[in-house]
C-alpha cells in the first residue's frame, strides 16, 4: 500500500467513526483523488450531505440551544475543538496549547441596600423607591453611599470629531452627573448617523467616560417610552451579560431613573423660569449643541448587587501558511456558535440558522482547506466566537487580546445565518417590499464592503465561478444590521471584514429555527464561494485596503 493510499484510508476511517457517532454511514464519495488544480480537491470536499450531518448535530436537543454560560455551550465548544484537532489545525494559545480562548463574563442583580436620595439646599431629603423611581445599572458596580452635587450634562457624550461635547464647559470632578440615555435625535442632520450612533448611545460607555472625568456617580434618564424593570422580575436568566474586565474597571455607582424622575430632578430649576427636561431635550436635538448646567440639589447614591461570574469560550484553530514570508499574517474565517439556549417555558431555541449554519460552514471549510494538498501563502485562522448573542462579547474579547497581532490580520469573513432563503415582511415606511423565500433561493447578503472596495471586488470575482446573487444592501439603515455580528468588532479596529448572511426569516430568534428548514444545497454553494474567497485573500500579494472615511469617529 502506498503512502497516499494509507493516508486516504486513514481519512476514511476518521470520517467513518464521525458519521457512525451520528448514526450515519459513510459515502465512498467522501474520498477524493488528488486534484491537479490548485484548489480543486478542497472544493470537491465541500458536500451538502456532510454539511447536513454536522448542522443536524449542532442544532439538536443535545446542545439545548447553546446558551452563553450553559454547560451545553461548553459542550459545543469542545465539539468544535475536536473537529479542529481531527483536521490537524494548530493552536495559538501560548500558556496552554489549546484551541480554547477563555474570557470571563459577569452578571449582576440589584439588591438592597441600594438607594437614591435628592437633597435640596434647605436640607429636605427625598428618598426614591427602587424599581419604581430608579434601578441600579445592570453592569453591577457595588458602591457605598456617595454624595455629590448634581450636574446635568445633556446626553453625556464627548464627540469632538462632530464638534459636540457635553462636558466642554462644566467640570464634573466630585459631581454626580445626570444625562439622557441614547444620543441627540435629529434624523435629518445629526452626525450621529447609523454607523456611529451605537458607540455614543451605550450607557455603560458613557458612564465610563464620566468616571474618567472624575464623576463620583451617574444617573441615566430613560426615554419616556421605557419603563424600569421590576426587581421581582430580575433573575440571572434575564440579566444582561457583560465582559468581566469592563465591569471590574467600573468604580462609581450608577443608576437608571424613569423619565418622570428625571423631570422631577430638575423641577426646581424649571420653577425658576428655566426649561423643563422635555424642552431642554428638544433644544439639544434641534440644535445639536450641548446644554450642561449645575442642578441645585445634591444626590446621595448607593448600589448593591448579587453577582455571578462565569467563563465564555472562543474556539480558535490555525492552518499555517505555505510561504515563510507571509506565514505570520492571517486571514480569519469566523462564525458564532452560541445561541439563545432554553426559554422560560423550557422551549429549546435550536438556532439552526443562527448560527449553527455558520459554525457548520466553519467546520466544513476546516476539512476543505486541510484536505487540499496545496496551502495558501498566508495562514488561515478559523474562529468560532462565543457570546455573540449577548453583545458580540467573544469577538470583542479577541480584538482586545488577539492571538495574532491585529496589524498582521489581513481580513475577516464572518458567516452568520447562511442557511435559509430570506423572507421579509413589507414595511412601506422603510421602503422595504415583501419578499418570499422562493425569490431568494440563490441570494446572499453581504455587509461591510463600504469599508473595503478591495474585499467587495475579490468576493465578486470569486463569485463568477459560483453564480450566487450577491446583495449589498444592509450596510446602512435604521436596523443597524452592520453592528449585529462579530465582523463589527474587527471593522472597528480597521480590519477589512465582510459578513455573509442569507437573510432574515420568520423563525429568527424563535424556537422554530430548526434544522429541517435549512437549504443545504444553497449552503454548499455559499461555502464554495467562501473557500475561494479565503484562498484568494490568503494567497494574493497584498491584503485588502481599509477605507477609514466612514469611521472617523473611532476612538
| Range 106-307: architecture per CATH | 3-Layer(bba) Sandwich (3.50)
What's the pLDDT tens digit per position in 196-220? 556 788 999 999 999 999 999 999 9
What's the pLDDT tens digit per position in 220-276? 999 999 999 877 778 898 899 999 999 999 999 999 999 999 998 887 665 566 689
Report d(CA 194, CA 180) in Å as an integer: 19
**Position 35 pLDDT exceeds 90:** no
Question: Per CATH, is 40-90+320-551 categorized as 3.40.50.10240?
Answer: no
What is the rounded average pLDDT for all residues in the chain?
89
**Position 75 pLDDT exceeds 90:** yes
- pTM for this one? 0.89
Q: What's residue 165's pLDDT?
A: 95
What's the pLDDT tens digit per position in 396-406? 999 999 999 99
Q: What's residue 551's pLDDT?
A: 64
How distant is the alpha carbon of residue 224 from its chain centre?
A: 28
Q: Are 468 and 459 in contact (CB under 8 A)?
A: no
Of residues 160 and 304, which shows the higher confidence score?
A: 304
Q: Are 531 and 43 in contact (CB under 8 A)?
A: yes
Q: What's residue 230's pLDDT?
A: 78
| Percent of residues, the chain, with pLDDT higher than 90 | 75
What's the pLDDT tens digit per position in 507-523? 999 999 999 999 999 99
What's the pLDDT tens digit per position in 374-413? 999 999 999 999 999 999 999 999 999 999 999 999 999 9
Q: Are 108 and 191 in contact (CB under 8 A)?
A: no
What's the pLDDT tens digit per position in 9-23? 444 433 433 443 343
Please report which confidence band the pLDDT of residue 187 belongs to, taking 50, 70 and 90 as the band edges. Answer: low
Q: What's residue 296's pLDDT?
A: 87
Sign of the torsion formed by the C-alpha atoms of 470, 475, 477 and 483: positive
Phi, psi (degrees; rounded to nearest 5) at 460: -65, -40
For the ranges 22-36, 223-237, 434-448, which has the lowest average pLDDT?
22-36
For the ranges 186-200, 489-503, 529-543, which has the lowest average pLDDT?
186-200
Q: Are 107 and 240 in contact (CB under 8 A)?
A: yes
Amino acid at each position: 500500500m502506498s503512502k497516499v493510499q494509507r493516508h486516504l484510508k486513514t481519512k476514511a476511517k476518521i470520517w467513518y467513526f464521525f458519521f457512525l457517532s451520528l448514526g450515519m454511514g459513510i459515502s465512498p464519495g467522501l474520498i477524493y483523488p488528488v486534484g491537479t488544480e490548485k484548489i480543486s480537491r478542497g472544493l470537491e470536499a465541500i458536500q451538502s450531505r456532510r454539511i447536513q450531518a454536522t448542522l443536524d448535530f449542532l442544532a439538536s436537543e443535545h446542545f439545548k440551544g447553546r446558551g452563553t454560560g450553559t454547560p451545553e455551550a461548553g459542550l459545543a465548544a469542545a465539539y468544535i475543538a475536536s473537529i479542529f484537532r481531527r483536521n490537524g489545525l494548530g493552536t495559538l494559545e501560548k500558556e496552554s496549547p489549546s484551541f480554547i480562548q477563555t474570557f470571563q463574563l459577569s452578571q449582576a442583580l440589584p439588591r438592597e441596600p441600594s438607594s437614591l436620595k435628592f437633597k435640596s439646599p434647605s436640607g429636605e431629603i427625598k428618598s426614591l423607591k427602587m424599581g419604581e423611581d430608579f434601578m441600579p445599572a445592570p453592569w453591577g458596580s457595588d458602591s457605598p453611599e456617595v454624595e455629590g452635587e448634581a450636574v446635568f450634562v445633556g446626553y453625556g457624550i464627548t464627540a469632538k470629531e462632530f464638534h459636540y461635547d457635553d462636558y466642554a464647559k462644566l467640570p464634573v470632578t466630585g459631581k454626580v452627573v445626570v444625562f439622557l440615555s441614547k444620543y441627540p435625535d435629529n434624523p435629518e442632520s445629526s452626525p450621529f448617523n447609523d454607523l456611529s450612533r451605537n458607540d455614543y448611545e451605550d450607557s455603560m460607555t458613557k458612564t465610563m467616560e464620566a468616571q474618567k472625568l472624575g464623576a463620583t456617580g451617574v444617573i441615566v434618564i430613560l426615554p419616556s417610552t421605557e419603563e424600569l424593570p421590576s426587581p421581582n422580575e430580575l433573575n440571572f436568566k434575564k440579566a444582561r451579560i457583560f465582559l468581566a474586565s469592563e465591569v471590574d474597571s467600573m468604580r462609581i455607582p450608577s443608576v437608571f431613573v424613569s423619565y418622570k424622575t428625571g423631570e422631577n430632578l430638575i423641577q426646581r430649576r424649571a420653577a425658576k423660569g428655566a426649561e423643563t427636561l422635555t424642552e431642554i431635550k428638544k433644544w439639544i436635538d434641534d440644535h445639536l449643541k450641548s446644554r450642561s448646567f449645575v442642578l441645585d440639589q445634591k444626590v446621595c447614591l448607593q448600589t448593591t448587587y448579587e453577582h455571578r461570574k462565569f467563563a465564555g469560550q472562543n474556539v480558535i484553530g490555525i492552518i499555517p501558511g505555505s510561504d515563510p514570508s507571509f506565514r505570520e499574517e492571517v486571514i480569519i474565517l469566523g462564525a458564532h456558535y452560541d445561541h439563545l439556549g432554553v426559554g422560560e417555558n423550557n422551549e429549546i431555541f435550536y438556532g439552526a440558522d443562527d448560527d449553527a449554519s455558520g459554525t457548520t460552514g466553519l467546520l466544513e471549510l476546516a476539512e476543505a482547506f486541510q484536505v487540499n494538498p496545496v496551502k495558501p501563502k498566508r495562514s488561515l485562522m478559523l474562529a468560532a466566537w462565543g457570546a455573540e448573542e449577548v453583545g458580540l462579547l467573544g469577538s470583542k474579547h479577541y480584538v482586545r487580546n488577539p492571538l495574532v497581532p491585529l496589524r498582521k490580520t489581513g481580513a475577516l469573513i464572518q458567516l452568520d445565518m447562511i442557511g435559509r432563503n430570506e423572507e421579509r415582511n413589507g414595511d412601506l415606511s422603510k421602503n422595504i417590499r415583501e419578499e418570499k423565500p422562493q425569490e431568494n433561493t440563490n441570494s446572499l447578503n453581504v455587509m461591510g464592503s463600504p469599508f473595503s472596495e478591495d474585499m467587495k471586488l475579490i468576493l465578486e470575482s470569486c463569485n463568477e465561478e459560483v453564480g450566487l446573487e450577491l446583495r449589498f444592501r444592509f450596510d446602512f439603515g435604521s436596523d443597524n444590521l452592520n453592528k449585529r455580528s462579530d465582523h463589527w468588532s474587527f471593522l472597528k479596529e480597521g480590519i477589512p471584514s465582510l459578513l455573509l448572511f442569507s437573510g432574515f426569516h420568520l423563525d429568527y430568534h424563535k424556537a422554530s429555527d430548526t434544522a429541517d428548514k435549512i437549504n443545504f444545497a444553497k449552503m454548499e454553494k455559499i461555502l464554495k464561494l467562501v473557500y475561494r474567497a479565503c484562498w484568494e485573500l490568503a494567497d494574493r500579494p497584498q491584503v485588502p485596503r481599509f477605507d477609514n472615511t466612514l469611521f472617523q469617529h473611532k476612538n
